[in-house]
Structure 1
């Protein structure tokens, strides 16, 4: 009886150690993977708000972002990303820095 009690205790101890190794610490998302996932979805200039444009685009501050939204409200949706050049304060250099991140669809 003592032998079976020791065997059961030893089995329980070994089982808990082996199962514990499977439940390692959780990791947060890899920053490189997060950045890659964010680059997959372009920013739609026909639906993004001024905050999103300011946060996501290089060289676009609050004033330019509001100008983009105001232009869109006044003239309707952008037919292409190139139409951003018609917005006051948006030049070719700014457009080229952000072209890969943008869509008009």
Structure 2
């Protein structure tokens, strides 16, 4: 427990707590968690009952969290005025495209 770690967790909490929905780019692990620090935001979203969608960079597809599990979903759209978007600092080309396409679908209507 360090001051930096505490500040990072506080930042994640404020982002997720005030969001109507949460979008994450990362990797879903075999235990159902999202890999790395990005996983903190995903777990908090689950705990707070937020709408949670993850683009899995290894499977190259979107997944939604419902009924205590991940299910493949079609291309999501941002529907809430307040949302959180977060993810891995190790973005793949597919991850970048997923973000770009999400924003185009959501805001180019």
Name whichever structure is richer in helix by fraction.
Answer: 1
Name whichever structure is richer in strand by fraction.
Answer: 2
TM over 0.5: no
TM value normalised by structure 2:
0.28
